[in-house]
Amino acid sequence: MRTIGTLNDRALQTGLTFVVIGGHAVAAHGFARGTEDFDLLTSKEQRDRWKRLLEDLGYSQFHDGVTFLQFKAPSEKVWDVDVMFTNETTFAKIIAGSKLVSIAGVEARIPALEHLLALKIHALAHTTTRRFLKDFDDVVNLVLANKIDVRSDEFRRLVENSGSADLYEKIVRFTQQ
């Protein structure tokens, strides 16, 4: 899979930073699931540079949600790319807590489990029904795979700060079955 290697190399060459999120990060944290694209997170300050880098690699943008860009791959041999943007302070915390893992033989950074869950839970609070189901399944399975105590004050705070009390109750209900 050339996408991660190419993006990693080009990002290093141009001074861009990112963490891998989505299906690859979820798998690295213990819940393997299929994915049809490559998702990354970076700071808003790098938005224009990432757009230019991907377009230079032959990707074509098909969606601009301001804090979320989606690109179609130049061929079927590489994956589409989604880029999510956050503020510099949040991104600095995520990078500081990230870890290096091997994805398709390439060393790349993924968020700490707590940060990945916070991102997924934040998405749950601001998403469509179709996307909700995928992210909710990721959260439930990450909780189960990592044996997280959903009744702990720490987990409750994480969910309520990133989402809502209602989401917390749903996660508890689905992980306790």
User: pLDDT of 118-142, one tens digit each?
Assistant: 999 999 998 877 788 889 999 999 9
Q: Rounded to an integer, what distance in angstroms lies between the CA atom of residue 137 and that of residue 156?
A: 18
Instruction: Give the separation between CA 22 and CA 106, rounded to whole angstroms.
Output: 16
Does 34 score more than 90 pLDDT?
no
Domain extents in the chain: 1-111, 112-177
Helix (H, G, I), strand (E, B) or coil at 65: coil
Residue 44 DSSP one-character state: G
pLDDT (tens digit, 9 = 90+) per residue, 58-96? 999 999 988 899 999 999 888 999 999 999 999 999 999
Residue type, 48: D
- Decide if pLDDT at 115 tops 60: yes
CATH of 1-111, one of 3.40.50.720, 3.30.70.1900, 1.10.540.10, 3.30.460.40: 3.30.460.40
DSSP 99: E
What is the Cα 16 distance to its own chain's centre?
17
Residues 107, 156: Cα–Cα separation, whole Å = 32
What number of other Cβ atoms are within 10 A of residue 130's Cβ? 7
Q: How confident is the model at residue 9 (pLDDT cuts 50, 70, 90)?
A: very high
